[in-house]
């Protein structure tokens, strides 16, 4: 059951990776890592399916690598959160080790979509336009359409199915550190 839904999620991830790469190549943009590393952004993730998939990948790491990442996650969490309040300290994600994501194939949607200027169409609201990261110098280029909406919709569908399977109704809003710890 879980492997089928993980397969569906992987398909969505593959499509978004492919479209991200195509758009990035049209800009002539290649992410080489930078000071303003997106792995230092305070990202929150909102789906149980992505958490389960990330943990599935995490559990395949050698035990000592897992322990080190969990220790970094604890430090990250303690520094970032005071009660329920979070503040961005530009700390590196606990899954980033020496510039590499330890769970690259399992990383969440926002990690995959970050960087490119994009648009998002929300029912009953104005279209949201995101500027892209600083490293891409995208303000010097004409906007190349990159619409996140279909990805968000597909993610919502697969999340709905997964929630039915695991009988979850509450919301989730967690950093990668929280996903690893709790």
Positions touching ligand SF4 (CB under 6 A) are: 39, 93, 95-96, 101, 103, 107, 111, 176
* Min dist. Cβ of residue 130 to ligand SF4 (A): 17
- Quote the CA–CA distance of 72 and 165 in Å, as a whole number: 31
* Min dist. Cβ of residue 99 to ligand SF4 (A): 9
Considering the complex, state which of residue 158 and residue 176 has its C-beta at the smaller distance from ligand SF4: 176
Considering the complex, state which of residue 72 and residue 154 has its C-beta at the smaller distance from ligand SF4: 72
- Quote the CA–CA distance of 130 and 120 in Å, as a whole number: 8
- Is-contact 175 41, C-beta < 8 A? no
* Min dist. Cβ of residue 177 to ligand SF4 (A): 9
Nearest to 54 by CA among 94, 1, 81: 94
75: number of Cβ within 10 Å: 13
Considering the complex, state which of residue 47 and residue 96 has its C-beta at the smaller distance from ligand SF4: 96
- Quote the CA–CA distance of 180 and 182 in Å, as a whole number: 6
* Min dist. Cβ of residue 6 to ligand SF4 (A): 17
Considering the complex, state which of residue 42 and residue 121 has its C-beta at the smaller distance from ligand SF4: 42
Would you give the distance in Å from CA 4 to the centre of its chain? 21
Show Cβ contacts of residue 144 under 8 Å, excluding neighbours closer than 6 positions.
Answer: 23, 26, 27, 117
* Min dist. Cβ of residue 93 to ligand SF4 (A): 3
Considering the complex, state which of residue 75 and residue 127 has its C-beta at the smaller distance from ligand SF4: 75
């Amino acid at each position: 059951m879980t492997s089928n839904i993980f397969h569906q999620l992987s398909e969505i991830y593959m499509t978004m990776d492919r479209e991200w790469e195509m758009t990035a190549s049209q800009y002539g943009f290649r992410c080489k890592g930078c000071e303003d590393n997106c792995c230092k952004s305070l990202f929150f993730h909102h789906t149980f399916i992505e958490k389960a998939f990330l943990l599935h990948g995490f559990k395949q790491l050698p035990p000592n690598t897992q322990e080190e990442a969990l220790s970094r996650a604890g430090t990250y969490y303690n520094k970032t959160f005071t009660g329920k309040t979070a503040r961005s300290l530009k700390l590196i994600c606990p899954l980033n080790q020496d510039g590499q994501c330890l769970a690259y194939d399992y990383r969440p949607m926002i990690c995959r979509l970050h960087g490119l200027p994009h648009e998002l169409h929300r029912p009953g609201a104005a279209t949201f336009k995101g500027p892209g990261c600083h490293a891409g110098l995208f303000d010097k280029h004409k906007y190349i359409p990159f619409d996140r909406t279909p990805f968000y919709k597909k993610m919502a569908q697969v999340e709905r199915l997964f929630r039915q399977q695991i009988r979850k109704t509450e919301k989730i809003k967690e950093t990668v550190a929280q996903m690893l710890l709790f």
